[in-house]
A and B are shown apart, each in its own frame.
Chain A
């Protein structure tokens, strides 16, 4: 049986309340033992031919990162991303489990598509892929997809991501039905009518650029509606990519009331504001759009106080065909898997979060929100482990990106901290 020993790293495992220098022993793809580095005599396994020794001294060792919001584009849009390239990007970003959204072609609204994705991921995927099924057939918001069968086939959540479930009655029924099935519902909360043909946050920057704005109130009002419907219907509501202070306030009130609501925020919404659009660079165009500094500050505060549960990238690959065009016509979305941790580490350096908090937001918390068994280094858990060099600096070069698409807003930025190794079930799937 293959054994791996990761020695001397600073191990942070929020699930086990671990933060210190430990040696991790992996056997048969699972965590076998974790011993304090100081008192661990070690060496017992050294020299044995089937033991892989990994020296992690000076490095951070965490449970494999978990991203509950990605778009892998396969089937249907393989020119943007495939399960192979997308999971390769995930591995390079330290993610060992990722959820992929249903807006493929065909839409993942039935078992055959779910099974295709899972099979493809098992054959070609570098990391674990857990599909998210559609709430409604074809993401059209008209009638429910066969959600119980989607779950049976392997979907861990349902979402019409990309679109809100605009019809409140369908949303109510979806929440009721998913309560019975026992699967979370991820909402893309946006009032489509008030968004209209908006292409960026509505505010002084949109006024200056002459671009149609998307008012922040359109997110908050839909979050408020969804929370009220969740209160009525029950069900596990998860709010995707929160971008506004108004939405944060709605979620905070819901949590104070004890409602079963969780929420995520993306690295780019924590890093950039609408000011980044002043050059009409379509690599900063996404939905929800980049907001104002006031919103960014509210999002950081919400991460700190637990109003927002976790971080998710909303990795959304688009090719130059969709991005190298007029701003108004350009597709929404940016990639984010390979830059996520590095983009967020400044939050620790500036004191907004502690390092264990950041690790929790990318491992245990997203796993809990989606009822996954990942995000922990508990003995017996799958040995999904990420090793990060917090001191390493690097510049994001689009040419070096593993994702098939290069639409990153981080292009050219200098980053501090980088994932240096990603381990899935005891096997190294990425080494930087």
Chain B
């Protein structure tokens, strides 16, 4: 089995078969992280560059650990330490990095479409680690992986995604991913944060969180950026938490074995109450654990000598 592509840019581009291949591969790698010696030689001699133009702890660390557990050499570049401050263009930065012959560049950037732009310039693999409000494919893969691990299947599940849909790349990637595997996704948020034509991505939309929660098998809460308040997306954190925050009261309407997820970092008491975040249904930390396995699978399927041309 192979991933017949150079880059991983968007879940939208993937077939259900490719998603399943990534998930199956991740499942086989998860055990490595449980070993005492958490390392396999699979990607020895490969270089992976994490090029992060946005602050990130979780995602960047996860990609780095995934690379290291596969014995690849991981190099991290963040905006403040790179030559970006010298006014070099992104293209020049990327071309220079490629001149050092990495196998893969993992990029996070605040401007949507930037990973696709780089993928066009570069011969090495490009992995999108989040681009603007466009996509965050590895997050969706680890979310789907986590659900599949718990439920055993995706098809027919009711998935609710609640919060700031407009600014969320996680929402977009998850809508594509879950629906491609046969789940039914409803996204909910205040109309101010529901982008126009969201239904065209394949989900249902509602401004009523209860409509999404009721009967849900999976609830994914999205982080709310505090600064959105200043831009009049909602009047106050207090009112937002009251209307859209997930608490034990709202949770009663979901299925009994509901799974609660959040891409992190969480705002306790805003989009999710502490009781729910720390409660029995919460998979927030398992998502993080699974993130490493999913990213190992991504590197393996892009770099592992599994492609025809290598």
Interface string of B198-223 (1 = CB under 8 A from A): 10110000000000000000000000
Are A211 and B196 neighbours in the complex by a CB distance under 8 Å?
A: no
Q: Does B113 contact A (CB under 8 A)?
A: yes
Q: For window 319-352 of chain A, which residues contact chain B by CB distance below 8 Å?
A: 321, 324-329
Chain B, residues 160-193, CB within 8 Å of chain A (1/0): the string is 0000001001001000000000000000000000
Q: Would you give the shortest CB distance from A318 to chain B, in whole angstroms?
A: 14
In the assembled complex, A279 has its CB within 8 A of some CB on chain B: yes
User: Which of A202, A206, A324 lies in contact with B91, CB distance below 8 A?
Assistant: A324
Residue contact A208 to B200, C-beta cutoff 8 Å: yes
**Contact of B116 with A by CB under 8 A:** yes
Whether A202 contacts B196 in the complex (CB less than 8 A), given A279-B116, A327-B117, comes out as yes
B61 within 8 A of A: no
| Chain A residues, CB < 8 A from B90 | 325-326
Query: How distant is the Cα of A328 from the Cα of B114 in the complex, in angstroms?
Result: 9
17 contacts between A and B (CB under 8 A): A204-B196, A207-B166, A207-B198, A208-B197, A208-B200, A209-B134, A210-B112, A210-B113, A210-B132, A211-B112, A211-B132, A280-B117, A327-B112, A327-B113, A327-B114, A328-B110, A328-B111
Rounded to whole angstroms, the CA-CA distance of A324 and B135 in the bound complex is: 21
CA separation between A207 and B196, bound complex, in Å?
A: 6
Known: A326-B113, A326-B114. A203 touches B197 (CB 8 A): yes
Q: Counting CB contacts under 8 A, is A213 at the interface?
A: yes
A120 CB → nearest B CB, Å? 31
- A327 to B109: give the CA distance in the assembly, Å: 11
Q: How many residues of B contact A (CB 8 A)?
A: 26
Task: Report the bound CA distance from A216 to B111 in whole Å.
Answer: 22
- A209: chain B residues within 8 A (beta carbon): 112-113, 134
Bound complex: CA A321 to CA B87 (Å): 12
Task: Report the nearest A residue to B109, measured CB to CB.
Answer: A326
Q: Does B133 contact A (CB under 8 A)?
A: yes
A203→B90 CA distance, assembly (Å)? 28
User: Interface of A with B (CB < 8 Å)?
Assistant: 202-213, 279-280, 321, 324-329
> How would residues 132 to 145 of chain B score, 1 for a CB under 8 Å from any chain A CB and 0 otherwise?
11110000000000
Residues of B within 8 A of A203 (CB): 196-197
Q: Is the CB of B200 within 8 A of A280?
A: no
Q: How far is the CB of A197 from chain B (nearest CB, A)?
A: 10
Q: Are A207 and B201 in contact (CB under 8 A)?
A: yes
The answer to whether B197 and A207 touch across the interface, beta carbons within 8 angstroms, is yes
**B195 near A327: Cβ-Cβ < 8 Å:** no
**Inter-subunit contact B91/A329 (CB<8 Å):** no
With A and B bound together, what is the CA distance between A205 and B197 in angstroms?
8
Kindly list the 3 A-B residue pairs having the minimum CB-CB distance in the complex, ordered from nearest.
A204-B197, A210-B134, A280-B113
Partner of A280, one of B116, B133, B195, B196: B116
B89 at the interface (CB under 8 A from A): yes
Residues of chain A lying within 8 A (CB to CB) of residue B89: 321, 324-325
**Interface check B131, CB cutoff 8 A:** yes
Enumerate chain B residues within 8 angstroms of A280, measured Cβ to Cβ.
112-113, 116-117
Other than A210-B113, A325-B91, A328-B132, give 18 A-B pairs with Cβ distance below 8 A.
Answer: A204-B200, A207-B196, A208-B172, A209-B113, A210-B131, A210-B133, A210-B134, A210-B169, A210-B172, A211-B132, A212-B133, A213-B195, A279-B116, A325-B89, A326-B111, A326-B114, A326-B117, A328-B110
Partner of A329, one of B111, B195, B197, B200: B111
Interface-central residue, A204, A209, A211, by most chain B CB under 10 Å: A209
